[in-house]
């Protein structure tokens, strides 16, 4: 469990400085983290689990799935209802909401929320004697939020590729259209290839399927901006990092791959909605203009104050009317902000999806990954854009869970024992390899099915197996997942390695991986990550709540900037002179490390310093050289096998 301060300590901290609050609506739950604004120490956390706390919506893993399995969504009302339940829980647990000075939110990425024409009024007039969900029934023009696991927009993805390719052709690209060429053009333009879960494709499907509801749509947000809208009771724009998950936000003007290295800062400096793609989605020039209005102004300063908390929150739950709100962001960007990642370190988020997050100074997008603008950019950062690179896998926790459920008893302890027993018995790599794409995978794109192989020396000598392996599936799934992360991370590291010398090229493993998310506390997973990826593994103190903690850090940063700006524009000359003008412009990482350094020095320094390097992360696994060697030696064979497995899986 995360160490949480006692209620008495809460009171003491609040007396001096107050709190910051981070909210997170991810796939399976809605969470809250309360932190001391001065030290960023976690004080309390709470959550509402969609399946078990709100069973009336009938979700499994937080979602509903169509009969064909390709459409995946959750009811928008469930998310709002979860916020009601969570706030009630905070009140019951006596959280000191009156001392919250700033709030920010995080939400599952790509998932779109459709507000009706009536929403503006309904939001403004919320009655504090009633729940928010009971008053917003008419506020949405679409009753569902398409989930990031949705795979039903393949035709819209095709339109996106073709549109990006036409733009590249107009800019001088001289090749014929192929799906790959379309994806490359879209990746250069927006940081990602066409993905079924991306918001632009989902919005296009909505417009094509439901013309009436489209007409009645006033605003379109993402889950993160929808939470900011609820918090301020006023429509809010999408945060730029989260806008990168729409396939509509143009990051680069370089349509043609005329230069092998990362895009220059100047070329990437001007970012905006891509007009041709908006038109593709909206169906006409006129509707494209309306769509741009529906999406609203993108928030390019992640630490800006977008408003004060709404009256409903003040009157019903006792929030301070001066409490500020800063833009919400995606759950992965928020997780990323709960760390300060140096090169060659990564965050591995093991939530519903598995995601690998890396920091980057250059725009060097890859078709199999995603490049997002750094989630804590300030508006003034135009000369030094930074990015977050991400690999996202759909078959993360739910696929591991499906293997666990085939075991007797179906629990994690048994799963973990099976992993180590199978490895001791030699039932993993290099003898056995398997791929578990239970839902259509993102990496490799479109892979679907389960295939198992017995290997005899190399990938060209293998035997495909028909039966499940009750004695080794638990090991095989972990090896297969983490080999993929190692392989793709190596490609990212290799493109950021300027030197071609052998030492640099052979050193393409990470130095450290920080684990967060529901599965991060699992010792078998921790050890296998260390062995396969060949690096030290740390467990973040915020492991279960990294998204809401990252959101709270952002709120604290906005608060610090806001307080400093207010002091420097004070009417009193003395106060204005004493104000720390730099704090009003302080970059996010500087702010976090200044605050955390203060905490560590104040609490004795020394050993605490090492522990606090990554906000209290603790070393939980080191690579075992015996196994790391096996995995390193098998990597090329495994890569070739993964290629075959995609076509074999399609035939099964």
Nearer Cβ to ligand 5SP (330/544) = 330
Contacts for 488-494: CB closer than 8 Å, 24+ residues apart: 488/356, 488/368, 488/369, 488/391, 488/443, 489/346, 489/356, 489/358, 489/391, 489/533, 491/366, 492/358, 492/360, 492/366, 492/369, 492/389, 493/344
Contact between 355 and ligand 5SP per CB under 6 A: yes
User: 219 phi and psi, to 5 degrees?
Assistant: -140, 150
Q: Is 147 exposed, middle or buried (0-12, 13-18, 19+ CB in 10 A)?
A: buried
Binding ligand ADP by CB under 6 A: which of 75, 182, 330, 351? 351
Nearer Cβ to ligand ADP (214/412) = 412
Omega before residue 409 within 30° of 0, cis: yes
Contact between 25 and ligand 5SP per CB under 6 A: no
Cβ–Cβ < 8 Å for 77, 137: yes
Angle ∠(339,345,346) on CA atoms, nearest 5: 65
Q: Is 89 exposed, middle or buried (0-12, 13-18, 19+ CB in 10 A)?
A: middle
Contact between 197 and ligand 5SP per CB under 6 A: yes
Contact between 39 and ligand ADP per CB under 6 A: no
Binding ligand 5SP by CB under 6 A: which of 131, 241, 352, 560? 352
Query: How far is 369 from 646, CA to CA, in rounded Å?
Result: 18
Q: What is the DSSP letter of 261?
A: S
CB of 46 to ligand 5SP, least distance (A): 18
DSSP string, 114-158: EEETTHHHHHHT--TTS-HHHH-GGGBSSSEEE-TT----HHHHH
What residue 355 binds from ligand ADP, ligand 5SP, none (CB within 5 to 8 A, per partner kind)?
Answer: ligand 5SP
Closest residue by Cα to residue 449 from 464, 460, 427, 462: 464
Contact between 147 and ligand ADP per CB under 6 A: no
SS3 (DSSP) at 419: helix
Number of H helices, E strands in the chain: 26, 24
CB of 358 to ligand 5SP, least distance (A): 14
Closest residue by Cα to residue 164 from 186, 180, 184, 179: 186
What residue 110 binds from ligand ADP, ligand 5SP, none (CB within 5 to 8 A, per partner kind)?
Answer: ligand 5SP
Query: How far is 391 from 355, CA to CA, in rounded Å?
Result: 5
Beta strands at 449-456 and 458-465: parallel, antiparallel or unpaired: antiparallel
Contact between 119 and ligand 5SP per CB under 6 A: no
SS3 (DSSP) at 397: helix
Q: What is the DSSP letter of 603?
A: T
CB of 133 to ligand 5SP, least distance (A): 21
CB of 24 to ligand ADP, least distance (A): 7
Binding ligand 5SP by CB under 6 A: which of 19, 95, 148, 591? 148
- What is the strand order of the sheet 354-360 is part of? 370-373, 387-393, 354-360, 345-350, 512-516, 536-539, 618-621
What residue 198 binds from ligand ADP, ligand 5SP, none (CB within 5 to 8 A, per partner kind)?
Answer: none
Cβ–Cβ < 8 Å for 403, 474: yes
Contact between 27 and ligand ADP per CB under 6 A: yes
Query: How far is 202 from 593, CA to CA, in rounded Å?
Result: 39
CB of 553 to ligand ADP, least distance (A): 17
CB of 117 to ligand 5SP, least distance (A): 29
CB of 456 to ligand 5SP, least distance (A): 37
Binding ligand 5SP by CB under 6 A: which of 74, 109, 389, 614? 109
- The residues in 499-528 that bind ligand ADP, with binding defined as CB under 6 A, are 517-519, 521-522
Nearer Cβ to ligand 5SP (119/542) = 542
Closest residue by Cα to residue 414 from 524, 313, 510: 524
Nearer Cβ to ligand ADP (111/592) = 111
Q: Which stretch binds ligand ADP (CB under 6 A): 213-221, 398-406, 442-450, 501-509?
A: 398-406
Site mask for ligand ADP (CB under 6 A), range 408-427, x = bound: ----x---------------
What residue 197 binds from ligand 5SP, ligand ADP, none (CB within 5 to 8 A, per partner kind)?
Answer: ligand 5SP
How far is CA 398 from each of CA 53, 352, 402, 409, rounded to the nearest angstrom? 19, 6, 6, 17
CB of 418 to ligand ADP, least distance (A): 13
Q: Which residue is nearest to ligand ADP (CB)?
A: 518
Contact between 395 and ligand ADP per CB under 6 A: no
CB of 404 to ligand 5SP, least distance (A): 17
Contact between 28 and ligand ADP per CB under 6 A: yes
Nearer Cβ to ligand ADP (365/396) = 396
CB of 113 to ligand 5SP, least distance (A): 14
What residue 401 binds from ligand ADP, ligand 5SP, none (CB within 5 to 8 A, per partner kind)?
Answer: ligand ADP
Each residue of 279-294: b (16+ CB within 10 Å) or e?
bbbbeeeebbebbbeb
What residue 365 binds from ligand 5SP, ligand ADP, none (CB within 5 to 8 A, per partner kind)?
Answer: none
Cβ–Cβ < 8 Å for 81, 201: no
Contact between 110 and ligand 5SP per CB under 6 A: yes
Residue 74's beta-bridge partner residues?
Answer: 145
Query: How far is 252 from 180, CA to CA, in rounded Å?
Result: 19
Binding ligand 5SP by CB under 6 A: which of 25, 27, 395, 476? 27
Contact between 190 and ligand 5SP per CB under 6 A: no
CB of 570 to ligand 5SP, least distance (A): 41
For 248, residues 6+ apart whose C-beta sits below 8 A from its C-beta are 190, 199, 200, 273, 274, 277, 278, 281, 295
- The residues in 352-391 that bind ligand ADP, with binding defined as CB under 6 A, are 352
Q: Which residue is nearest to ligand 5SP (CB)?
A: 351
Cβ–Cβ < 8 Å for 21, 33: yes
Nearer Cβ to ligand ADP (76/314) = 76
Nearer Cβ to ligand ADP (190/397) = 397
Q: Which stretch binds ligand 5SP (CB under 6 A): 105-113, 122-130, 175-183, 398-406?
A: 105-113
233: Cα separation from own chain's centroid = 25
Nearer Cβ to ligand ADP (232/440) = 440
> 555: part of which helix (H) or strand (E)?
helix 546-568
Query: How far is 357 from 583, CA to CA, in rounded Å?
Result: 28
Binding region for ligand 5SP (CB under 6 A): 26-27, 108-110, 148, 197, 245, 330-332, 351-353, 355, 392
Binding region for ligand ADP (CB under 6 A): 26-29, 351-352, 397-398, 400-401, 412, 517-519, 521-522
């Amino acid at each position: 469990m995360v160490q949480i301060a006692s209620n008495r300590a809460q009171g003491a901290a609040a007396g001096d400085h107050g709190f910051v609050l981070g909210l997170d609506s991810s796939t399976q739950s809605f969470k809250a983290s309360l932190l001391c604004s001065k030290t960023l120490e976690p004080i309390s956390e709470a959550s509402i689990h969609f399946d078990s706390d709100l069973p009336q919506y009938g979700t499994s893993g937080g979602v509903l799935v169509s009969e064909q399995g390709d459409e995946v969504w959750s009811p928008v009302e469930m998310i709002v209802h979860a916020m009601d339940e969570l706030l009630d829980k905070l009140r019951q647990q006596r959280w000191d909401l009156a001392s919250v000075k700033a709030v920010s939110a995080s939400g599952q990425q790509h998932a779109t929320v459709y507000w009706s024409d009536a929403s503006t009024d309904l939001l403004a007039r919320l009655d504090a004697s009633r729940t928010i969900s009971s008053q917003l029934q008419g506020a949405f023009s679409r009753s569902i939020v398409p989930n990031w696991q949705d795979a039903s927009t393949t035709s819209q993805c095709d339109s996106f590729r073709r549109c990006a390719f036409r733009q590249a052709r107009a800019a001088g690209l001289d090749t014929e259209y192929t799906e790959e060429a379309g994806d490359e053009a879209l990746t250069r333009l927006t940081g990602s290839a066409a993905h079924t879960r991306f918001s632009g494709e989902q919005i296009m499907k909505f417009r094509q399927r439901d013309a009436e509801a489209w007409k009645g749509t006033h605003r379109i947000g993402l889950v993160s901006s929808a939470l900011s809208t609820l918090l301020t009771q006023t429509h809010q724009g999408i945060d730029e990092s989260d806008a990168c998950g729409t396939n509509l936000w143009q990051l680069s003007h370089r349509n043609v791959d005329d230069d092998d290295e990362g895009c220059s800062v100047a070329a990437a400096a001007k970012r905006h909605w891509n007009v041709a793609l908006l038109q593709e989605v909206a169906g006409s020039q006129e509707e494209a203009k309306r769509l741009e209005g529906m999406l609203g102004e993108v928030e390019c300063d992640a630490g800006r104050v977008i408003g004060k908390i709404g009256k409903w929150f003040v009157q019903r739950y006792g929030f301070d009317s001066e409490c500020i709100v800063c833009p919400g962001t995606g759950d992965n960007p928020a997780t990323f902000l709960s760390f300060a990642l140096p090169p060659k370190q990564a965050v591995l988020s093991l939530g519903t999806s598995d995601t690998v997050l890396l920091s980057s100074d250059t725009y060097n997008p890859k078709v199999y990954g995603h490049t997002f603008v750094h989630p804590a950019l300030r508006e003034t950062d135009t000369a030094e854009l930074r990015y977050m690179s991400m690999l996202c896998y759909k078959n993360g926790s739910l696929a591991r869970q499906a293997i666990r459920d085939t075991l007797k008893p179906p629990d994690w302890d048994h799963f973990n024992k099976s992993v180590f027993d199978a490895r001791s018995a030699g039932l993993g790599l290099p003898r056995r390899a398997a791929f578990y794409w239970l839902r259509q995978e993102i990496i490799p794109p479109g892979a679907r099915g389960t295939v198992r192989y017995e290997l005899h020396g190399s990938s060209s000598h293998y035997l495909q197996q028909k039966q499940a392996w009750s004695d080794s599936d638990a090991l095989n799934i972990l090896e297969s997942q983490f080999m993929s992360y190692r392989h793709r991370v190596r490609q990212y590291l290799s493109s950021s390695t300027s030197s071609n010398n052998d030492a640099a090229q052979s050193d393409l493993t990470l130095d450290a991986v920080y684990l967060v998310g529901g599965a991060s506390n699992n010792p078998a997973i921790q050890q296998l990550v260390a062995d396969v990826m060949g690096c030290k593994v740390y467990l973040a103190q915020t492991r279960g709540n990294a998204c809401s903690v990252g959101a709270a850090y952002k709120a604290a940063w906005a608060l610090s900037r806001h307080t400093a700006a207010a002091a420097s524009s004070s009417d009193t000359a003395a106060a204005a002179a004493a104000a720390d003008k730099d704090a009003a412009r302080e970059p996010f990482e500087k702010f976090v490390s200044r605050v955390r350094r203060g905490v560590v020095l104040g609490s004795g320094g020394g050993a605490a310093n090492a522990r606090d390097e990554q906000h209290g992360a603790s070393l939980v696994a080191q690579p075992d050289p015996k196994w790391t060697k096996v995995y390193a030696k098998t990597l090329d064979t495994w890569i070739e096998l993964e290629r075959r497995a995609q076509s074999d899986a399609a035939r099964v």
